[in-house]
Amino acid sequence: MEIFGKRLCVTYDELVRDGIMSKPNFDKHVRENKFSVLRKGGNGRKALVDYESMPEAIRARYDARHPGAKQQLQTPKIPLNERLKGDEKAVEFFRRYTPRITIERQTEYVLNAKVLNAMVAKEMDMKGMHGKSGYRHSKLVRDTITGLCEHLRERYGHTLPKSRLMEKFNDYKKYGYVVLVNGNTGNQSARKVGPQEGRLLLRLKRSKFPVYTDMQIFEEYNRLAPAKGLNRIESPHTVTGFLYKTAVRLWWYASVHGEVAFKNEFMPQFDTQLPKLPNTLWYGDGTKLNLYYKDYDKRQKRMVARTIDVYEVMDACTEVFLGYSFGRESFLTQYEAYRMALELWKVKPHEIVTDNQGGHKTKAAQAFFGKICRLHKTTMPHNGQSKTIESAFGRFQQQVLHGLYNFTGQNITAVKESSHANLDLIMANIDRLPTLEEMKEQYVKCRDEWNAMEHPTSETGMTRMEMYTSLSSPNAETLDDCEVADLFKMFSTTDVKYGKQGFCFEMDKREYRYQVYADDGQVDLNFHMQHVGESFRYRYDPKDMTVIELWQPTAAGLIYVATATPKVKIHRATADRTEEENDYLFTQLRNNERARVAHHIASEELLLEECMSEAYTRLAVPRPVGVSSKAMNSYREAYAEGTLKAPVEYPQGTGPGTSEPDVEESPGIASVGEFTKAASQLTDIDLYESFLN
């Protein structure tokens, strides 16, 4: 069975050669027009018979011989390996959209745009195939792209509507990215529930005498709020949104549903099974690097044996070591290890599990882990058996590191003699131990050896690396270079004020100075003069500080404002300056003077309109500093011609020409007497002027 045009068809072979009817019987049905032949056979073509035109008895025999063929053909086939492609234009559009959009909303809208792009591509592909075959099947195309949208919803969690999806889809094809922006963008969000308000809501939720529903909690709160000096809550959704956050629900769940329900809801389960596909779960943990290296102790003035720590990222399924960083466990070592893993393999895992030590609890770490995976969890403290990576470290020490003479041995509590180092041999040969850099090279080679070893549970003898590179979890997300670079950009934890010196701050005891420049390489005076004294958060890449983004805090969240680059430095001594520096310096000085003068002239326009200029007062308005009277006249002519403009416009509705003139209205005429009186006051001059007008 196949589709010809918009009709379901049965082939000649399915009817005759499969024994449903004989050839003479088939020819008789054709001659007597008992069914419709849509295409005749011959020259390599298959004869096609309209399924609906066949007699009921023949259709019944065909359905019995080919059960489910009709349903299978009419069901749209959704490819299960759809991968969303990056859309840099969407990222740039939502970043620069006015009114500004928070970064969380930008991420949501970009994902929705990528899903719609995939739907448009699928629609064009299917229509192209149908066009080549000489027919159209709009319903099949619509059902296919609708099914694709729902498949991508399960995979990526986009927020496109279900009920009006095709309307949104058609609008997107007409108008582009703007249809994805929420109509309420720019409105100030409702006030969050504060600590005291939250305390009262929790008390009402835990109440037993009486027990309140969520709607009754909303009403009872607003009844009690004035007496307690608390703010009213305008919407029941604010109450439920607060109470059902995980961090809040934790504090009333046991009281409402009982301790058993609390345990089943929040306590971890102990029967676990490792994932069967790579990139489903990554583990990260810091540990001592069990290799000695030699170092000089300046205090005791002798060579000593030392060790360092390493933070390692491991795939739970294949036990492949993905990324590492040397140093004590902190957010910096975590960041470098996970960055190495994502830059090397270009895949975002579904889940990352870490412990509660080091820098995992900081706000910067939580924000970072929230970006590089879909789910970030921490293990139970003091429960080493639940950390698969610690077990892998133990076997890594036994199977690989143990073969090196500078092996430190395993944990001090290890029972086996082979798990301890020969300290006498090491102490007698400290000078022959590797240096720190040589020891790091040893560790890298050991990691490669571990990754190339056969996986302990592989039934086919695959190595860890072969297993990792040949398989991948459908819940993982592949990344392109642009998406990988965006993952590692971080926001500053504090606001920094933009001043006349530019955007200056200190990080890790080092000063950074940035400036916003225009396309011609000179300072963007429009941005500079408008934002001096305002505070921004900066978004940066710790490994590439050649460019930062400035984001302004608002009631709705952070919004993108501008991109800044390191401030240009000019030699103070004339002899030290290059020709390029001189050109840049004097061009910027001229731009500064033109900006000051243009701003001065624009201010004079408003003073003149408000009758406050020199013509109306006894005081002369001073010229900009360093500008002669002759130069000022030239600037005024340029301003009048439009070749010189003020760097910053007046706030909306406050500039020259925005005030409405007072117009005296005519008193009008309401009676014959009033008309006679008005006519008697007219003169010949009045009549002449009215004629001219």
CATH 3.30.420.10, domain 281-478, yes or no? yes
Residue 370: pLDDT band by 50, 70, 90 thresholds?
confident
Can you give the pLDDT at residue 106? 92
Domain boundaries, the chain: 2-74, 88-180, 195-266, 281-478, 489-568, 578-641
**Most confident region among 32-36, 73-77, 416-420 by mean pLDDT:** 32-36
CATH tag, 2-74 = 1.10.10
Can you give the pLDDT at residue 131? 76
Q: Greatest CA separation found in the chain?
A: 129
pLDDT over 50 at 108, yes or no: yes
What does each C-alpha distance from 417 to 105, 177, 408, 414, 422 come to in angstroms? Answer: 58, 67, 13, 8, 10
**Torsion 434-438-439-442 (CA) sign:** negative
Take residue 557 and report the two structure tokens written for it. Answer: 């969240």
Stretch 355-362: mean pLDDT, rounded? 70
Dist. CA 484–CA 371, nearest whole Å: 10
Residue 415: pLDDT band by 50, 70, 90 thresholds?
very low
Can you give the pLDDT at residue 465? 93
pLDDT > 70: percent of the chain: 82
Stretch 507-536: mean pLDDT, rounded? 89
Backbone angle region of 188, left / alpha / beta, with phi > 0 → left and psi within -120 to 50 → alpha: beta
pLDDT over 80 at 192, yes or no: no
Take residue 135 and report the two structure tokens written for it. Answer: 């027919």
Helix (H) or strand (E) holding 338: helix 331-345
Look at the block and give the residue holding tokens 């301790």: 259
More confident residue, 562 or 40: 562
Residue 259: pLDDT band by 50, 70, 90 thresholds?
confident
Stretch 122-149: mean pLDDT, rounded? 84
Residue 437: pLDDT band by 50, 70, 90 thresholds?
very high
Strands 321-326 and 351-354: unpaired
Amino acid identity at 636: R
Can you give the pLDDT at residue 149? 92
Can you give the pLDDT at residue 263? 76
Of the listed ranges 11-20, 286-295, 629-638, the least confidently predicted one is 629-638
CA 582 centroid distance within chain: 42
pTM for the model:
0.52
Our CA angle for 209, 213, 217, nearest 5°, is 80
Can you give the pLDDT at residue 664? 55
More confident residue, 686 or 497: 497
pLDDT over 70 at 350, yes or no: yes
90-104: pLDDT as tens digits: 999 999 988 888 898
Helix (H) or strand (E) holding 558: strand 557-566
pLDDT over 80 at 435, yes or no: yes
Dist. CA 234–CA 223, nearest whole Å: 12
Stretch 138-156: mean pLDDT, rounded? 89
More confident residue, 576 or 612: 576
pLDDT over 80 at 390, yes or no: yes
Can you give the pLDDT at residue 680? 63
pLDDT over 80 at 432, yes or no: yes
Residue 517: pLDDT band by 50, 70, 90 thresholds?
very high
Question: Residue 254, SS3?
Answer: helix
More confident residue, 68 or 340: 340
DSSP alpha helices (H): ranges in 157-252? Answer: 165-175, 195-206, 214-228, 236-243, 246-249
More confident residue, 409 or 22: 22
First to last CA, the chain: 84
Identify the bridge partners of residue 39 per DSSP, sorted by sequence position.
Answer: 48
* Contact status, residue 524 vs residue 498, Cβ threshold 8 Å: no
Dist. CA 472–CA 279, nearest whole Å: 6
Dist. CA 297–CA 274, nearest whole Å: 45
Count the residues in the chain.
693
pLDDT over 90 at 681, yes or no: no
Residue 638: pLDDT band by 50, 70, 90 thresholds?
confident
Dist. CA 455–CA 207, nearest whole Å: 55
pLDDT over 70 at 386, yes or no: no
From the number of C-beta atoms within 10 Å of its C-beta (0-12, 13-18, 19+), residue 667 rates as: exposed
Average pLDDT value for the chain: 82
Of the listed ranges 216-220, 276-280, 460-464, 619-623, the least confidently predicted one is 619-623
Can you give the pLDDT at residue 132? 72
Residue 224: pLDDT band by 50, 70, 90 thresholds?
very high
Look at the block and give the residue holding tokens 């009844």: 223
From the number of C-beta atoms within 10 Å of its C-beta (0-12, 13-18, 19+), residue 124 rates as: exposed
Burial 6-26 (b: 16+ CB within 10 A, else e): ebbbbbbebbbeeebbeeeeb
Can you give the pLDDT at residue 129? 81
Amino acid identity at 201: L
Can you give the pLDDT at residue 416? 55
Instruction: Report the 3 state secondary structure along 573-586.
Output: CHHHCCHHHHHHHH
Residue 190: pLDDT band by 50, 70, 90 thresholds?
very low
Can you give the pLDDT at residue 188? 42
